[in-house]
Amino acid sequence: MGSYIPNTETDRSEMLAAMGRKSIDELFANIPENVRIKDLNIPKGMAELDVTRAIASLAGENKIFSVVFRGAGAYKHYIPAAVKRITANETFTTAYTPYQAEISQGILQSIFEYQTMICELTGMDAANASVYDGASAAAEAMNMCRDRGKNNIYVSGTAHPQVIETIRTYCFGYGIPVIMIPKNTDGKTDLTALKNLLADDKAAAGIYIQSPNFFGLVEDIPGASEIAHANGALLATGVNPISLGLLESPGALGADIALGEGQPLGMPLAWGGPYLGFIACKNSLMRKLPGRIVGETTDTKGERAFVLTLQAREQHIRREKASSNICSNEAHCALTAAVYLSVMGEEGFAEAARQCHSKAIYTAKQISAISGYSLVYDGEFFNEFVTQCPDTEKALKVLEKDGILGGYPLGKSQLLWCVTELNTKDEIDRMACILKEATL
């Protein structure tokens, strides 16, 4: 079998040197070492079919859990069968990117419908055609907050760690300061600290707070909005879209920008992607939205038509005036989200959110009743919560033996649990029973 890697060792060395890296291992240092494959051990000269079989055999060693109690940014939800069937239509999977609006009306309309649904969901006035994922949406949102003489970005320490890292990476490229807002002992953003930080900062541009936050807790968004606006800054709020079936929208709570990871809207867990970053804002910020935006108009015959419009990206306006250089969106994922929301309907969507919340409350009570386990934070949560745990490694191993993926470990003594509408009462009771027996 021939090599499909077109560049030579010299090419690779030059690329690594340009990035300031000495080796491929150093380039991928952010990936945990224990999940990196050092050597596939595939003999040279194997036929393609044999290589395919060898790789399939390796993939067969992966553990696929039938019961999942883990979220932390990626969530297992019910996906109606119609979603996959509709989005598999070849006219959606083969269409070229909509540069030529006059010949891509179907794609443009699907994006327009998606944008409309995101606006309704978030309580905002405008949305774009999506960005790569929730983390890049957060980073792009903070870039939108910048204005003349205002460059300082504030990020809550209760946000998802990977989102924080992405914002830092974007801001590093622009030379923008990132100031962290400390976490309170109740697991939420310390708004008093935020108020003090902003008091002497005339260059404060934007504040990022995630709600529900990384620990599952619902933040005080109206309070944060009041502080931000009193100090001339904008508030960007990261959300789990399913939670908006139950909680007030960011727009109604006073946020200027709403964003998040759209994976829960009809996309299965798939080894980290492809995911969907959604981003929406108030009218005053519409011209700063990154990427593609589709608008509705009429053609020369007065018939309804769709066009790409208000695009502040460098492909469409003078580069120095561009607020973002993002060039691609997640069109098929955005379509999937729109189809999912259509199929679920307002009542179905709200019911999914209600089940997530009520089952999470039940699960929290069951786990907290076990000796050595207790809720770490008392605040309101949606479908994730943190518990103290005597030994996280031991707990996860006993659950794994029964085909259950337990909570996300936060060190050796805490677990971040997640419950969705897919978790049944029997599963919850069985999981709690296994944990209880492990402590005896």
User: What class is the 81-340 domain?
Assistant: alpha beta
Q: With contact defined as beta carbons under 8 Å apart, do 210 and 158 qualify?
A: yes
Residue 351, pLDDT score: 98
Stretch among 124-128, 178-182, 321-325, 329-333 having the lowest mean pLDDT: 321-325
HEC per residue, 363-425: HHHHHHCCCCCEECCCCCECCEEEEECCCHHHHHHHHHHCCEECCEECCCCEEEEECCCCCCH
**pLDDT value at 52 more than 80:** yes
| Confidence check: pLDDT of 101 > 70 | no
Fold for the domain defined by 67-77+346-439: Aspartate Aminotransferase, domain 1 (3.90.1150)
CB neighbours of 186 closer than 8 A, spacing ≥ 6?
217, 377, 378, 379
What residues does each domain of the chain span? 67-77+346-439, 81-340
Q: Which two tokens stand for residue 432?
A: 């709690």
pLDDT of res. 308: 85
Q: What share of the chain is helix, strand, coil (3-state, %, to 5)?
A: 40, 15, 40
CB atoms within 10 A of CB 248: 13
Task: Examine the pLDDT at 334 and tell me if it is beyond 70.
Answer: yes
List Cβ neighbours of 45 (8 Å cut-off, separation of 6 or more).
1
Mean pLDDT value across residues 218-243: 98
Q: What is the pLDDT of residue 117?
A: 98
CATH topology match: 67-77+346-439 vs 81-340: no
pLDDT tier, 103 (very low <50, low <70, confident <90, very high otherwise): low
Model confidence at 278: pLDDT above 60 = yes
* pLDDT more than 70, % of the chain: 94
Cα torsion 162, 163, 169, 171 to 10°: value is -160
Q: Is the pLDDT of residue 2 over 60?
A: no
> What CA–CA distance (Å, rounded) separates 432 from 428?
6
* pLDDT recorded at residue 224: 98
Looking at residue 1, its pLDDT comes to 45
What is the pLDDT of the chain when averaged over all its residues? 92
> Pairing state of beta strands 152-156 and 414-418?
unpaired
Q: Tens digit of pLDDT for each residue in 353-408?
A: 999 999 999 999 999 999 999 999 999 999 999 999 999 999 999 999 999 999 99
For residues 277 and 136, is the Cβ–Cβ distance under 8 A? yes
User: How confident is the model over 328-344, as a mean pLDDT?
Assistant: 94
Task: Kindly list the strands in the beta sheet with 234-239, ordered across the sheet, starting from the edge strand earlier in the chain.
Answer: 126-127, 277-281, 257-261, 234-239, 204-210, 152-156, 178-181
**Whether pLDDT at 164 is above 60:** yes
